[in-house]
Amino acid sequence: MSFPAIMVTLAIVTGIIWLIDSLFWAGQRVKEQKEPLVVEYARSFFPIIFVVLIIRSFMIEPFRIPSASMLPTLHIGDFILVNKFAYGVRLPVINTKIFEVGKPQRGDVFVFRYPQNPNIDYIKRVVGLPGDKVGYFNKTIYINGKEIVRNIKPKDISLLGIVPTRTVLMIENLGDHEHELLIDPERPSKEGEVIIPEGHYFAMGDNRDNSNDSRYWGTVPEENLVGKAFFVWMSWSWDEGGIVWQRLGNSIN
């Protein structure tokens, strides 16, 4: 079972036990009689489980970055926070949208359920919106026939030893987002052009030549959206001896 399913199940079970005890048993116990252990646990844990469920399902959920596909924006070992209501309020487990809030914008870093295996969460950058014609040729993005301009930037010292020396650090503008990306001139890229269907989004990693994204498995359907990544609250690297202090508190652009 997924974590949301476990939390929903625990909330229902503890809530029912507490409710039944309050309605039928509590009034029948004498003052000195101790309540059953299962009732005591249910009464103690239900409020905590319920609050955690509400926060994680409708407000903010933490995730850990497991791969290098979003370098240099996100590093392996980054712990991030994701805004769960940015793209609409959804019921946990069944993921049905019950309230419209907003939609992904070009350049957003977003978390979604991998279309080929919805049990896995992916994080990429929104490149194409519904109706867009997105092309990728010679390591350059074209949106509706317009080239997305990039500029070379000197590598930051924080990337030394993390990425191959042959990679090139660049600055790119997608919508209102100016962000960094990595290009590997020696690695071939999958090229092509696609028109994004309604209700779908084209996603790419910032580590362009080391990312399993929409170029390979297609677009992200709207019902797979989880939320918008916005903050790095912790970062841990065994290679750097533990907490990577300079990454704590970084906003995600």
Catalytic residue annotation: 69, 124
**217: helix, strand or coil:** helix
- Burial letters for 167-188: b for 16+ Cβ neighbours within 10 Å, e otherwise? bebbebebeebebbbbbbeeee
Q: Which two tokens stand for residue 79?
A: 């712990």
Q: Are 180 and 72 in contact (CB under 8 A)?
A: yes
Task: Kindly give, in sequence order, each residue whose CB lies less than 8 Å from that of residue 165, ignoring residues fewer than 6 positions away.
Answer: none
Q: Are 248 and 236 in contact (CB under 8 A)?
A: no
DSSP state of 14: H
